[in-house]
Amino acid sequence: MPVQSVAIVGAGIAGLALALALARKGISSDIIEQADALREVGAGLQLSPNATRVLADLGILEALRARWTEPVSIDLCSGLTLATRTSIPLGKAAVSRWGAPYAVVHRATLQRALLDAVSESPLVTLHLGRKNEGMSAADIALHCTHPPDLIAGADGVWSQIRKLVPGAPKSSFSGNVAWRIVVPFTEAPPELSRDRVSAFMGPGAHLVCYPLADAGGFNLVAITGGFDPGETWDARMERGRTIALRDHFGGWHPVLRQLIGKGEDLLYWPLCQASDGAWHDGSRVVLLGDSAHAMMPFMAQGAAAALEDAYVLADAVSTLPLPRALAAYEARRKPRANRLRQRAEFNRRIYHASGPLRLGRDLALALRPASAFARDFDWIYGYRAAL
């Protein structure tokens, strides 16, 4: 029979969304989070239509819409000259083509909306300050209101719940890092657009910039090669790292170099990815989000994929016997995650191209109509998360 109670380890986007999706199906859950209080590090998120469609079904779209920004386009630009190479229409065009909005928002705003909805649900109980390292399935059950039929590992790229799944994916440092900062609107140069996502491309690096109305500034993410600071989302700048960052952007446009020069305020994030592997143990433990398929951010699909996982998993366990539900969930989600990973790697090569490859890229972008690029995204943004 379908499950009645689920233990969810991790109160990030994947875990909170899964709790809400299960509650819609009448399934209770206990969220077990090791932090004493929930706080979201980092900065902005891009929420493409495949993500906002799930948020609408979870009942939190309108609360978010009052705070987010819906950009009019994604512009691919030269980091050396600021020239726009191509522009992919969003705004009303996104809603018309893919049936849901494309939005940008601070991570904390999304997490707060999910948490508020979880707090209002009588079917969800949140347990903070519960360390999950070394936990067995029996240990997890001790933290739950009801004995769980299923344990869901939503505990991120450095997941501990993976240890309960034989042959589970393993995470590794990609060799790339993200330097993150929010620049207040009052301090930003006029060359930055307040109504679009701008991706500035350059040799060996790229910089993504978009407005965050809820944060009062521009979200900047610079992605380069770098070294691994370990399992942390809160590494701060040091003199050596500041010099290394400026070296990556030495030949870029002065406006962008000036922005990147705000080194003392930057967060330094390792970009990790998960290998292929089993997403469940065949009986009562399953992985979702970064625990299952941490991927590079070159398609801005990490949060969207986690939301899709939550929706599909809740659908599966509410309608199928548990072993079949877990198999159906993995069969539905793993091929898409792998395809997203492949597309992200393709984008990395394109964004970071140099020499003749960069010239060829720029010519191809200039000659290809924006409508053709929009068609390329149909399989991503038009995806509907259901079995």
**Residue 153 forms part of a structural domain:** yes
Poorest-confidence range of 32-46, 120-134, 239-253, 269-283? 239-253
* pTM metric for this prediction: 0.94
Residue 239 lies in a domain: no
Residue in 256, 271, 263, 258 with CA at minimum distance from that of residue 240: 263
pLDDT of amino acid 264? 52
**Is residue 40 included in any domain, yes or no?**
yes
Q: What is the mean pLDDT of residues 38-58?
A: 88
Judged against a pLDDT cut of 70, whether residue 239 lies above it is answered with no
- Evaluate whether residue 232 is within a structural domain: no
Domain that holds residue 159: 5-71+101-170+275-349
- Evaluate if residue 255 carries a pLDDT over 70: yes
pLDDT bin (cut points 50, 70, 90) of residue 228 is confident
Q: In terms of Cα–Cα distance, which of 233, 226, 185, 228 is closest to 209?
A: 185
pLDDT value of residue 249: 87
User: pLDDT for 304-324, tens place per residue?
Assistant: 999 999 999 999 999 999 999
For residues 83-117, b (16+ Cβ closer than 10 Å) or e, as one string? ebbbbbbbeebbeebbebbbbbbbbbbbbbbbbeb
Q: What is the pLDDT of residue 129?
A: 83
Element (H, E) at 337: helix 322-351
Average pLDDT value for residue range 261-270: 69
Specify whether the CB–CB gap between 204 and 33 falls below 8 A: no
Q: Is residue 115 part of a domain?
A: yes
Q: Is residue 22 part of a domain?
A: yes
Q: Which of 62-71, 166-175, 260-269, 367-376 has the lowest mean pLDDT?
A: 260-269
Can you read off the two tokens belonging to residue 283? 């009986």
Assigned domain for 77 exists = no
- Summarised one tens digit per residue, pLDDT across range 195-227 is 999 999 999 999 999 999 988 999 999 999 887
The answer on pLDDT for 59 being more than 80 is yes
Number of domains in the chain: 1
Query: In a 10 Å sphere around its CB, with 0-12 CB exposed, 13-18 middle and 19+ buried, how is residue 166 labelled?
Result: exposed
Q: Does residue 285 sit in helix, strand or coil? A: strand
State the pLDDT at residue 234: 61
CATH number of 109's domain: 3.50.50.60
pLDDT at 240 over 90: no
Whether residue 238 lies inside any domain: the answer is no
